[in-house]
Amino acid sequence: MQLLLTVFVAIGIASSHQKIGAFGYDCETLNLIGACIDLPALENITECDIHSLKPTNAYHMKPMKLGVAVYGIDLKKPVSEETIIQIKYDLLKHRLLIFKNQGIVPAERQVSLMEQFGRVISLHPKHPDSPHHGVLRISNHFRHGYQKVGVSAWHTDGFFVERPYSYVAFHIISISMNGDTWFLPINELLTRVDKETLQRWDRLWYLSSILNVTNPILFAHPILKMPTLNIHLNMVKHFIWDMNTPQERHTEPNETQQIINDMSAVLYDEISALQYTHKWEKGDFIVFDNNAILHKASPGTQVMPHKDGIRIMHRTTVEGHCPLEKEYEHYRNSYN
């Protein structure tokens, strides 16, 4: 059964170039949307191809290497439910939305905006300088925010909870010279990974070094039901092979490190083609689908303020859609 499953996954992923395309999701996939996510208006969509959704007049978009830059909407003002639904569609389609020219969005407003996407989760302690508990304040100086956040490795935010976060917002408050953020599209990454590697990843779970949560590495995107990744390459206590089967086995430190090295090598092989480096501009407010993109703070984010200027970012995270499942049925069936 396990073997069958891994073969299906591998076939699905290997074939996905033709069917899924770089950014697209097909109609049948979209018909599956709904089970555990609150997107009521989806039921009313008769034309199921997300590409042909009428563009909203609430904003306009310009394509980027990954995701889109969004213009013409002011997030400081209330955003209608209709527009939020449009944003959610655009997040499914583009994965990374870079809202331009937002000035400084007050923390309270940032949190209430993200509450329109789902329950805001803030498991971190509030930094004394943070204006709101729902905002993780990040900085290159300890007085202004937490240092060394997200810089050690490629990761999924909230990988250490049962439901890794669904949406993440990054709002830049103060820009340092080299404080870029790196993003990596998972779909394109998986289409480039060889079959044997995918079969191995499909058998792996990890125990996170925070909160003792066990999650699969490869899981079904909660809405699109296609395989996606959930990792933090620097916060794994150990891996578990074939969890909940008679073959279940927990890795020793050497093997754990070897698996992390192997995964990093796969990622780094693809980085030059796939990585999008976001160079922050004043007023940028990013929202991304945390189940479709890996990210990492670049080393430049940690350069001290006297060299590069002060960097301050406000992050808000939204609870995951549902516990991670390894059901890629639709995906497997479409390619069989």
Ligand X SMILES: O=C(O)CCC(=O)C(=O)O
Could you tell me the two tokens for 110?
Answer: 């940032």
Nearer to ligand X, 86 or 166 (CB): 166
Least distance in angstroms from the C-beta of 27 to ligand X: 33
Nearer to ligand X, 53 or 153 (CB): 153
Nearer to Fe ion, 157 or 188 (CB): 157
Return the residue of 312, 313, 318, 324 that touches ligand X, per CB under 6 A: 313
Q: What share of the chain is helix, strand, coil (3-state, %, to 5)?
A: 30, 25, 45
Residue nearest to Fe ion (CB): 150
Least distance in angstroms from the C-beta of 208 to ligand X: 15
CA distance 30 to 33: 5
Half-sphere exposure of 40 (CA within 13 A, CB side): 3
DSSP single-letter state for residue 232: B
Least distance in angstroms from the C-beta of 211 to ligand X: 16
Confirm if 296 and 232 have CB atoms less than 8 A apart: no
Q: Is 164 in the site for Fe ion (CB under 5 A)?
A: no
Which residue in 231, 138, 232 sits closest to 181, CA to CA? 138
Cβ-in-10-Å burial (0-12, 13-18, 19+) of 199 comes to: middle
Nearer to ligand X, 259 or 313 (CB): 313
Q: Is 161 in the site for ligand X (CB under 6 A)?
A: no
Name the one range near ligand X by CB under 6 A: 83-91, 149-157, 210-218, 258-266: 149-157
Least distance in angstroms from the C-beta of 301 to ligand X: 5
Return the residue of 221, 315, 321, 332 that touches ligand X, per CB under 6 A: 315
Confirm if 310 and 302 have CB atoms less than 8 A apart: no
Could you tell me the two tokens for 305?
Answer: 């303020």
Return the residue of 121, 149, 287, 324 that touches ligand X, per CB under 6 A: 149
The long-range contacts involving 213-219, CB below 8 angstroms and separated by at least 24 positions, are 213/160, 213/161, 213/162, 214/240, 214/243, 215/159, 215/162, 215/164, 215/324, 216/243, 216/324, 216/326, 218/9, 218/326, 219/324, 219/325, 219/326
Name the one range near ligand X by CB under 6 A: 4-12, 17-25, 51-59, 293-301: 293-301
x/- map, 122-151, Fe ion, by CB under 5 A: ----------------------------x-
Binding site for Fe ion (CB under 5 A): 150, 157
Binding site for ligand X (CB under 6 A): 138, 149-150, 157, 181, 295, 297, 301, 313, 315
